[in-house]
Structure 1
Amino acid sequence: MKIKDAKVFVCSPGRNFVTLKIYTDEGIYGLGDCTLNGRELAVANYLTDHVIPCIIGRDPFQTEDIWQYLYRGAYWRKGPVTMSAIAAVDMALWDIKGKSLNTPLYNLLGGKSRTGVMVYGHANGRDIEETGDEVEKYIEQGYLAVRAQSGVPGLPTTYGVSDDKMFYEPAAKGLPPENVWSTEKYLMQVPKLFKALRAKFGDEIHLLHDSHHRLTPIEAARLGKELEPYRLFWLEDPVAAELQQGFRIIRQHTTTPLAVGEIFDTVWDANVLITEQLIDYLRMTVVRGGGITPLKKIAAFADMYHVRTGCHGATDLSPVTMGAALHFDISVSNFGIQEYMRHTKETDEVFPHGHGVDFDDKLAAKFPYERAYLPVNRKLDGTMWNW
């Protein structure tokens, strides 16, 4: 079996996605996702102009060799564009292998390590009461874990809060919107939120929260300490993810579990955090971490230090990534939890469910690419800050 051709599809069924389809000379094709918020066309062009010509004629079963070829051969390696493109190729090749052998992907990754995968939903509201109502809806649906985000008094917008509660989508069409941020107001609100949620729902439900890179290490340490009585499953992205040394300060002051890594590209981004056991959950995902081939190794490395996986799973990852992630989740021994956000009806139609995930390129053509960006943040005094 040889790779005969590959095509990149950029479409916007509710939001932008970049999908790679690799075709073989035996009629089997594989799908890969390489969606990168606000940089979709950069990844698509990189794949078309630089990656696809290098894989034509190769054996799709040689996933390790092809991955090393694309990663080491680039020389100017790493970075979200390069790693997303490599991930798409890797996902598609594993898809081809599973289809060719007529077996689920998890069987090729070592088989099942568990009977199911725990996912968490996203509850948000304009205030604490409304957030509580949304948490209750997820509990009624059978969720065992829920991420809770609440509006902050005095701020017109807050990360994780949207008008459409079940379909949170942060990317906005056009150029990046500028939001207003206040760390002080946020730090006063969050402990109140989780005090209210524990009082209402008790201890059985797992509660999670995302600070989205907005705190300094000592601010994150303070928040983690204040949240200890409410026993969070994790506090996510408390500081800028690249500030690995900052996690030492947080770790010294709080026992609240910490999660980070959705923007990491390689194991080197997480090396210190893992080996010094500064985090409890690694949030790297299949599409951002270079594919299934490296992520399997990274999970094994993290397992040696009792760090569990908690893969990113927001709407900016297509159903192709979610499908691959679930096979990864059920196979690794140190799985922790999987993020899950519902896609729109249009997305589900373009990526029909069934045996794995498929892609309707004719229907996708009816949803052309639309420029869209994630917001940016400014503090109350106008200073640019992390979103």
Structure 2
Amino acid sequence: MKIERAYTIVTAPGRNFVTLKIVTDEGVYGIGDATLNGREQAVVAYLEEHVIPALIGRDPQRIEDIWHYLYRGAYWRRGPVTMTAIAAVDMALWDIKAKVAGMPLYQLLGGKSRERVMVYGHATGKDIEACLDEVARHVEQGYRAVRVQAGVPGIASIYGVAKRPGERYEPADAELPAEHVWNTAKYLNHAPKLFAAVRERFGDDLYVLHDVHHRLTPIEAARLGKEVEPYNLFWLEDCVPAENQESFGLIRQHTTTPLAVGEVFNSLFDAKALIENQWIDYIRATLTHAGGITHMRRLADLAGLYHVRTGFHGPTDLSPVCLGAAIHFDTWVPNFGIQEYMPHEDVTNEVFPHDYRFEDGHFLVGESPGHGVDIDETAAARYPYRRASLPVNRLEDGTLWHW
């Protein structure tokens, strides 16, 4: 069996998605998610100019060798563009291998470690009461775990909060970056009130999560973690930028609130010190941005040695291809923690038919050979790419801050 051709499909059914399709000379094909939100065309160029020409004629079953060929052979290692391109190839090759074997992907990885995959949903509101109403809606839908984000008095627009009640939060809605304004003191004074209100209304059994989105300094994050301990959060996510991994050591000294990080990571090395020093509790990297299944298996195995569990990023700017592969990975990985779930729009699901399903706060993995997600290229062609950018953040005095 040889790789006969490979090509990218760029489509925007609700959001921009980049899909890599690899076709063998025996007619078996696999697809991988190559979406890098806000930098989609950079990955397309990397794939089309540098990766795809090097794949033609290779044996698609030599997944390990091809992964190292693309990683070590590029010389310029890691980085989000390179690792997203590698991940797309890797995901597609695992899809092919599982189809040839006649197995769902989780069986090829080693079989089930669990019968279902717990997910968390997103509840947002312009104020605390509106957020609580959204939490109630999620609980009614069967969610056992909910991420809560509410507006802060004095801050006009805040990460994670939808523009209107009942809508999903979608940050990439402009060709050029929107500019938001941030005030740390206002946020720190307000956030604990949200968690107190959630616990008062929903009790102690609901798993409650919160995303700080890199906004704080280590000592500010330590203060927040300590102040919210009475509300027993499932995790506090991305409380500081993680370029300085030792920042989490300082936070850990001051709080027992579980810490999660990693949605912007693209390699094991981004998390190595965090894991080995047990400064975090959950690793949030994604299959699409962190080198695919081959690399994430190594990251998860390292994490498992230090009691760190997986909590994969799962926004709507990653396609159902990534989500489908992640559910297979989640079903297998021994140190699973939780899976993020932002439901895709109906039009997205039309372009990406799949066999996974949501039921009572969990995902149930499909049994189709491969990762169980396909792409309808005819439908995809109806939704052309449109440039979209993530926002940027500034402090009230105009200083550029972490978004």
Deviation at 1:206, TM superposition (A): 0.1
Partner letter of residue 363 of structure 1?
A: A
**Corresponding position of 2:7:** 7
1:88 match: secondary structure:
helix
Say if 1:308 and 1:336, in contact at 8 Å, map to a contact too: yes
Alignment match, 2:116: 116
Which residue is 2:329 aligned to? 328
The 1-side partners of 2:350 and 2:182 are apart by 37
The one-letter code of the counterpart of 2:248 is F
Amino acid at match of 1:231: N
Aligned positions of 1:10-49 closer than 5 A: 10-49=10-49
Contact kept? 1:289, 1:295, Cα under 8 Å: yes
Per-residue CA deviation, residues 50-98 of structure 1 (Å, 9 max, x unaligned), is 0001111111111111000000000011100000000000000000111
Task: Show the counterpart of 1:63.
Answer: 63
Amino acid at match of 1:365: A
SS in 2 for 1:119: strand
Rounded to whole Å, the distance in 2 between the matches of 1:188 and 1:368 is: 44
Deviation sequence 1:338-385 (CA, Å, 0-9, x none): 000011111111111234111011211111110001100001111100
Deviation at 1:29, TM superposition (A): 0.8
Q: Give the distance between the partners of 2:136 and 2:97, measured in 1 at CA.
A: 41
Q: How far apart, CA to CA, are the structure 1 residues paired with 2:101 and 2:134?
A: 43
Equivalent residue number for residue 357 of structure 1: 373
| Structure 1 equivalent of residue 264 of structure 2 | 263
What is the distance in 2 between the residues matched to 1:27 and 1:61? 14
The answer on whether the counterparts of 1:213 and 1:238 sit within 8 Å (CA) in structure 2 is: yes
User: TM-score, normalising length from structure 2?
Assistant: 0.95
State the superposition RMSD in angstroms: 0.8
Q: Cα distance, 1:37 vs. partner? A: 1.2
Residues 125, 162 of structure 1: 8 Å contact kept: yes
Structure 1 CA distance, aligned partners of 2:321 and 2:283?
21
**Shift of the alpha carbon at 1:230?**
0.1
In structure 2, what is the Cα distance between the partners aligned to 1:353 and 1:334?
A: 25
* 1:230 equivalent in structure 2: 231
CA contact (8 A) 1:166 1:342 kept: no
Q: What are the ranges of 5 or more consecutive residues in structure 1 without an aligned counterpart?
A: none
For 1:367, give the aligned amino acid.
Answer: Y
Deviation at 1:186, TM superposition (A): 0.7
Q: Which residue of 2 aligns with 1:105?
A: 105
Q: Which secondary structure state, in structure 1, belongs to the residue aligned with residue 41 of structure 2?
A: helix
SS of corresponding position for 1:248: helix
Contact preservation (8 Å) 1:167, 1:344? no
Structure 1 residues 220-299: aligned runs within 5 Å: 220-299=221-300
Are the aligned partners of 1:155 and 1:180 in contact in 2 as well (CA < 8 Å)? Answer: yes
The 2-side partners of 1:209 and 1:46 are apart by: 35
Cα distance in structure 1, aligned partners of 2:151 and 2:100: 49
- In 1, Cα distance between equivalents of 2:302 and 2:177: 37
Measured against aligned partners, the alpha-carbon deviations of 1:232-283 in whole angstroms (never above 9, x if no partner) come to 0000000002121110110000000000011111111101000000000000
- SS, match of residue 38 in structure 1: coil
Q: How does 1:159-174 map to 2 (within 5 A)?
A: 159-163=159-163, 165-174=166-175
Amino acid at match of 1:120: Y
Give the structure 1 partner of residue 364 of structure 2: none
What is the one-letter code of the residue matched to 1:284? Answer: A
- Map residues 148-187 of structure 1 onto 2, 5 A cutoff: 148-163=148-163, 165-187=166-188
Does the 8 Å CA contact 2:324/2:354 hold for their aligned counterparts? no
Q: Distance in 2 between matches of 1:88 and 1:189?
A: 41
CA contact (8 A) 1:173 1:370 kept: no
Give 1:166 deviation, angstroms.
Answer: 4.7
The answer (yes or no) to whether the contact 1:4–1:56 under 8 Å persists in 2 is: yes
Match of 1:370 among 365, 376, 386: 386
Q: 3-state DSSP class of the match of 1:173?
A: coil
Q: Which residue of 1 aligns with 2:363?
A: none
- Residue 167 of structure 1 and its aligned partner are, at CA, apart by 2.7
Q: Cα offset for 1:173?
A: 2.4
